[in-house]
Amino acid sequence: MYANRNIMKSRKAVLLPKEIRMLSDLGENLKLARRRRRLTAKQLSERANISRSTLWHVEKGSEHISIGTYLKVLSILGLSQDMNGIAKDDLLGRKLQDAELITKKRFKK
């Protein structure tokens, strides 16, 4: 028996249509940012050390591209600071956290 049989197969993330549109918008924004900087796809892909076809997938917002690749492209375009804003102001999370705060217990007299 092989030891590798017990390894779980990776599962592909199933995205909702809204999430697919968000990725597509991100890809379009990256493409526009590249064009505003007058960079060709070849130049950007070389600087990011990715293939031209991978950059094409990034600019289409493909979900199978790693977040690291998206970050590398953002960095080359000078937009990596945008990643710092993600989940920075987590209003829902803070409300949930505040709701679970332990109140002082009163002792019986």
For 32, 90, 93, 103, 106, the CA distances from 85, given in Å and listed in that order, are 20, 10, 15, 32, 41
Phi-psi region of 18 (alpha: psi -120 to 50; beta: other; left: phi over 0): alpha
Domains and CATH numbers, the chain: 15-81 (1.10.260.40)
pTM: 0.75
How do residues 9-60 score in pLDDT, each as one tens digit? Answer: 777 778 999 999 999 999 999 999 999 999 999 999 999 999 999 999 999 9
